[in-house]
Structure 1
Amino acid sequence: MAEEQQKKQKFPGENSDAKRSPKGRLQHPVVYIISIIVLLIIAVTFVAGPSLNIFSPQAENVSFGSIYGNSIEYTPGSYFAQQQQALAQEFAQSGQDASIQTIYQIWRIAFQRTLLHYAFLEEAKNSGFRVTQEAVDKAMAQNPRFFENGEFSPERYRSVSNVERLQLRETTHAGLIHQEVINSILQAAQPSDPESDFIARMGADRRSFTLARFPFAEYPAEEIIAFAQESPDTFRVREISSITLNSREEAQVLLERIKAEELNFQEAAREYSTDGFAAQGGSRGAVIFYDFQAEFSDEESAESIFSADRGSLTDIVETRNGRFGFYRLDSEIRSLDPESDREMQRVRGYISRFDSQRIEDYFRSEADSFLLAAQNRGFVAAAQEGGISTVKTNEFPINYGSVALFPTVQDAEGNQIAGTGNNEEFFLELFSLEDQQISKPIALGGEIIVAQLNSTRTVEEEELNYLKTFAGYIIQDWLGAELERVYLDPEVYTDRFDQAFQQLVMGN
Structure 2
Amino acid sequence: MTNIKQKILFGGAIAILVLAVFAFVFVPALGGSASGKVLEFGKWGGKPIEYVQDSFFVRQIQSLTENLKSRGQEIDQFTHYQVMQSAFTSAVLRLAILDAVDAAEYKPPQSLVNKYLVSYYQDENGKYSAKAFRDTPEITRSARRNLITEELTAQRYISDVFGTREETFGIKVSASETALLQQMAGPQRSFNYVSFSTADYPESETVAFGKENDDFFVKHSFSVITLDSQSAAKKLVKSIAKEETTFTDAITTLSTRIGTSDEGKLLKSYRSDINTLFSDAEDLAAVLALSPGESSQVVMAGKSYAIVRCDEPAVSPDFSDPTVISAIKSYMNLNERGRIEDFYLNQAKAFAETARLSGFDNACEINDLQKYSTTHFGINYGNVELLTPLPVEENVVFSEAVRNESFFKTAFSIEPAAVSNPILLGREIIVLQVSEERAADTQLAEMIPLFYSKYAMSWAEKSVTEAFLASDKLDDKFMETYLEYFLN
TM > 0.5: yes
Residue 139 (structure 1) aligned with residue 104 (structure 2): no
Q: Higher relative CO (CA 8 A, sep ≥ 6), structure 1 or 2?
A: 1
The alignment's C-alpha RMSD in Å is 5.4
Does the C-alpha gap of structure 1 residues 42 and 90 become closer, same or farther in structure 2, counting only changes over 3 Å?
A: closer
Give secondary structure in 2 for the equivalent of 1:439: coil
Does the C-alpha gap of structure 1 residues 286 and 354 become closer, same or farther in structure 2, counting only changes over 3 Å?
A: closer
Q: What is the alpha-carbon distance in structure 1 between the residues aligned to residue 291 and residue 51 of structure 2? A: 71
Does the C-alpha gap of structure 1 residues 122 and 381 become closer, same or farther in structure 2, counting only changes over 3 Å?
A: farther
Q: What is the alpha-carbon distance in structure 1 between the residues aligned to residue 86 and residue 310 of structure 2? A: 45
Aligned residue pair count: 450
Does the 8 Å contact 2:225/2:264 carry over to 1? yes
Deviation at 1:396, TM superposition (A): 1.2
Match of 2:133 among 148, 151, 154: 154
Give percent identity, aligned residues only.
19
Residue 215 (structure 1) aligned with residue 180 (structure 2): no
Deviation at 1:210, TM superposition (A): 1.3
Match of 1:436 in 2: 417
Q: What is the alpha-carbon distance in structure 1 between the residues aligned to residue 83 and residue 242 of structure 2? A: 47
Residue 86 (structure 1) aligned with residue 63 (structure 2): no
Does the C-alpha gap of structure 1 residues 82 and 334 become closer, same or farther in structure 2, counting only changes over 3 Å?
A: same
Matches within 5 A, 1:190-201: 199=181
Q: What is the alpha-carbon distance in structure 1 between the residues aligned to residue 124 and residue 77 of structure 2? A: 34
Does the 8 Å contact 2:185/2:444 carry over to 1? no
Deviation at 1:182, TM superposition (A): 7.1
Deviation at 1:402, TM superposition (A): 0.9
Match of 2:69 in 1: none
Matches within 5 A, 1:61-72: 64-65=44-45, 72=46
Q: What is the alpha-carbon distance in structure 2 between the residues aligned to residue 275 and residue 91 of structure 1? A: 48
Deviation at 1:476, TM superposition (A): 4.1
Match of 1:497 among 449, 466, 475: 475
Residue range with higher mean Cα deviation, 83-92 or 439-448: 83-92
Give secondary structure in 2 for the equivalent of 1:417: helix
Q: Which runs of 5+ in 1 are unaligned?
A: 1-35, 66-71
Does the C-alpha gap of structure 1 residues 162 and 378 become closer, same or farther in structure 2, counting only changes over 3 Å?
A: closer
Deviation at 1:160, TM superposition (A): 0.6
Does the C-alpha gap of structure 1 residues 157 and 350 become closer, same or farther in structure 2, counting only changes over 3 Å?
A: farther
Q: Give TM-score scaled by structure 1 length.
A: 0.66
Does the 8 Å contact 2:260/2:267 carry over to 1? no
Q: Which runs of 5+ in 2 are unaligned?
A: 67-73
Deviation at 1:351, TM superposition (A): 4.1
Does the C-alpha gap of structure 1 residues 94 and 295 become closer, same or farther in structure 2, counting only changes over 3 Å?
A: farther
Match of 1:185 among 160, 164, 173: 164
Q: What is the alpha-carbon distance in structure 1 between the residues aligned to residue 246 and residue 182 of structure 2? A: 77
Match of 1:74 in 2: 48
Match of 1:427 among 385, 408, 414: 408
Q: What is the alpha-carbon distance in structure 2 between the residues aligned to residue 400 and residue 170 of structure 1? A: 43
Residue range with higher mean Cα deviation, 337-346 or 420-429: 337-346
Does the C-alpha gap of structure 1 residues 176 and 255 become closer, same or farther in structure 2, counting only changes over 3 Å?
A: same
Q: What is the alpha-carbon distance in structure 1 between the residues aligned to residue 452 and residue 429 of structure 2? A: 34
Q: Which amino acid letter does the alignment assign opposite residue 219 of structure 2?
A: V
Residue range with higher mean Cα deviation, 241-250 or 409-418: 241-250
Q: What is the alpha-carbon distance in structure 1 between the residues aligned to residue 309 and residue 361 of structure 2? A: 57
Q: Give TM-score scaled by structure 2 length.
A: 0.69
Deviation at 1:324, TM superposition (A): 4.8
Deviation at 1:427, TM superposition (A): 2.0
Match of 2:220 in 1: 238
Q: What is the alpha-carbon distance in structure 2 between the residues aligned to residue 136 and residue 230 of structure 1? A: 80
Deviation at 1:452, TM superposition (A): 0.6
Does the 8 Å contact 1:241/1:285 carry over to 2? no
Match of 1:361 in 2: 342
Give secondary structure in 1 for the equivalent of 2:314: coil
Does the 8 Å contact 1:240/1:286 carry over to 2? no
